[in-house]
Amino acid sequence: MYHKVTGRKPYGLKDQELKICKVLFFSHNYATMKGRDFHNKTEGSRHPEQEKDRNCSMQNSDNMANSDQLIEVQKKRIAELEQETAALKEALLAAEEANKAKSRFLSNMSHDIRTPMNAIMGMTSIGLSHIDEKARVHDCLGKIQTAATHLMSLVNDVLDMSRIDSDRLTLNEEPFSLADLIHDISVIVRPQAAQKRQELKIEIGRIEEEELMGDPLHLRQILVNIIGNAVKYTQEDGEIEVRFAQRYVTAKLPEADGAEGMMADAEAAETLPAGKVWLDFTCKDNGMGMSQEFLQKIFVPFERVHSEATSKIEGTGLGMSIVKNLVERMEGQILVESEEGVGSCFTVQIPMMTALQETASLHLPEGASVLIAENRKERAGQMARYLREAGLVPVKQEKGAQAVTWLTQAQYEGHMPCAMLLGEELSDMQVLSLASHVRQLAGKEFPILLVSEADWVQLEYRATRAGINGFVPCPLFKSRLLGTLAELLGGMGADDDAVQRELDYSGYRILLVEDIELNQEIAVELLSVTGVQVEVADDGAQAVEKFRNSPEGYYDLIFMDIHMPVMDGYEATRRIRGMDRPDAASVWIVAMTADAFVEDVRQAKESGMNEHISKPVEPGRLQEILYRQFSG
């Protein structure tokens, strides 16, 4: 059974006490002085008010001895004094608690700062003593970088808390894309989870509005902090499930100690005014969880779980306090449920303003089929649903071999799908192996989109080499999927000029150096479908002349055959590179030949060519080079 605490209730300390704590933390002189004065007054000399009361009581006793009235007055006074004493005791306790928290904070901070500083200093001296061993110095610098990054986040947390405390934090109101935000979060937290071999699932529920208004930076801070904590406090190989959804109807979070879990209160259910939507976020892990006792203090600054298991986990104890403050400032709510040894679940609800949707008209070929190659049923189902909603016909295959069989038969029967969506995994092979074969099977024009949680930057080189020409990041959003598909199908509306420009190479000029007429024809045909302007030279000497007589920067790319009459490709390249003009060194030259030995590749490079492709030329490879040179 989870223990719960909500962000709306006081949490352990009263507001006034918390304020004292905060003041103590950030105005240490004040805190120190107050603590000392208070202490002195309660334990040392008598207070002037007390003195006055004492005198007054003595006079009255002379006049009203033994009277009931006197007794009543005294009783009342005693009661008042008792109340005051109790209040003072309480305040003393609070101040002492605050003082302890401050001491803990200082102790933690000095430990937390010292730990990375020790690493920085230690690694620096190890690096210096092995300065000739590049690998070891590299390793040391990597560790220094990690420690410095941690130190920076520590300082940032403290500064953030200080800003919140002094009411200097203001929230921005700007349009942002929820898809972008979630993708950014995913990019940040996935490597951390991967390092601990944790399974991090980020799922998208019903999304009503993708374009929102708000403060994306602080929203990201809230979400990254919560997921980051889940990663930190969950063991290796653990599981973390993150879910995003939206709704128009209000759902109340339960009070602390209230009913189990989050629930929609039917009576309280009300629809938000137009232009607003609730963003629901949950993060559930099967990590170490928290005790009920700690749960009461989770939002208190500088409080951290103390156990053997957490002793090596870095943190200031400020993160959750910052999160709670930010959520409240966004008029949202936060609920934490947790059980020691079982795990924790954080739920955040924030009302968001919706931004005006950009209504780019996506021209997708209605009724056309799209092949989905994905083993994960849920993901494949999500892709299929989005495609159907856009009027397309999804065809799902779980295995690479099935996908190839289906495509081969579709090609033979003349009903090729308009694209293939390649998912995260297949049950029989790696997705890139399938992409590579489909690129050859289906030709250079066929759109192959990778729909993946992977970081595209890491994957781009291998993926484009395998023939993938579009990437849709996950968590999967309908707008992303259909937008990218429309881009690749060339069906975007007139308002998407940017995309058109990217795919249109009509602004580029290529010099094709090839002696065989048929090869010239084929290459020109393959190249010209992209709009690129192609000029042809029949041999190396002609190519050199054409380049010499062209204005600077005229040619963007040269495809150079090797074996040609009059002058071969090597010599022509050497002569072009040897010209005294800036673009002679920079123009990209690609060897196009059947000579495929390692030595040939090297010889091509030595003569000044930048890369090498084999003949007969695969259309996909040509496309890849154009994409890399002109769009990549």
Residues contributing to the site for other proteins (CB under 8 A): 132-136, 138-139, 400-401, 404-406, 408-409, 412, 428-430, 433-434, 436-437, 440-441, 443, 516, 518-519, 522, 561, 563, 593-599, 601-602, 614-618
98 vs 434, beta carbon nearer other proteins: 434
58 vs 412, beta carbon nearer other proteins: 412
Torsions phi, psi for 103 (to 5 deg): -60, -40
- CA angle at residue 68 from 67 to 74, to 5 degrees? 100
CB of 442 to other proteins, least distance (A): 10
CB of 536 to other proteins, least distance (A): 16
43 vs 413, beta carbon nearer other proteins: 413
**Side chain identity at 479, as an amino acid letter?**
S
30 vs 461, beta carbon nearer other proteins: 461
Bridge partner residues of 5 (DSSP): 336
Question: Quick one: 125 exposed, middle or buried, by C-beta within 10 A (0-12, 13-18, 19+)?
Answer: exposed
**Side chain identity at 7, as an amino acid letter?**
G
Helices (H), 130-250: 134-165, 178-195, 216-232
41 vs 602, beta carbon nearer other proteins: 602
What CA–CA distance (Å, rounded) separates 399 from 390?
A: 25
CB of 515 to other proteins, least distance (A): 9
What CA–CA distance (Å, rounded) separates 115 from 121?
A: 10
DSSP letter for 341, please: T
Which stretches of 374-495 are assigned E, i.e. beta strand?
393-397, 419-422, 448-452, 470-473
Which stretches of 403-479 are assigned E, i.e. beta strand?
419-422, 448-452, 470-473
364 vs 617, beta carbon nearer other proteins: 617
CB of 546 to other proteins, least distance (A): 21
CB of 626 to other proteins, least distance (A): 18
What CA–CA distance (Å, rounded) separates 5 from 254?
A: 9
Bridge partner residues of 593 (DSSP): 614
127 vs 483, beta carbon nearer other proteins: 127
CB of 485 to other proteins, least distance (A): 24
- CA R_g for the chain: 35
CB of 304 to other proteins, least distance (A): 32
Closest CA to 631 of 513, 498, 534, 536: 498
The label of the residue with tokens 């890849």 reads 624
CA terminus-to-terminus distance, the chain = 53
Neighbours of 239 (CB within 10 A): 17
Contact (Cβ atoms closer than 8 angstroms) between residue 573 and residue 526 = no
CB of 376 to other proteins, least distance (A): 16
Q: Which helix (H) or strand (E) holds 244?
A: strand 239-247
CB of 12 to other proteins, least distance (A): 46
What CA–CA distance (Å, rounded) separates 278 from 353?
A: 9
Closest CA to 310 of 284, 288, 295: 288
What CA–CA distance (Å, rounded) separates 141 from 570?
A: 43
197 vs 563, beta carbon nearer other proteins: 563
457 vs 597, beta carbon nearer other proteins: 597
85 vs 440, beta carbon nearer other proteins: 440
Contact (Cβ atoms closer than 8 angstroms) between residue 224 and residue 191 = no
**Side chain identity at 298, as an amino acid letter?**
I
The Cα-based distances of 70 to 53, 73, 78, 306, 380 in angstroms read 14, 5, 12, 55, 86
CB of 15 to other proteins, least distance (A): 53
CB of 621 to other proteins, least distance (A): 10
76 vs 602, beta carbon nearer other proteins: 602
132 vs 173, beta carbon nearer other proteins: 132
137 vs 169, beta carbon nearer other proteins: 137
CB of 606 to other proteins, least distance (A): 11
CB of 464 to other proteins, least distance (A): 17
What CA–CA distance (Å, rounded) separates 76 from 618?
A: 100
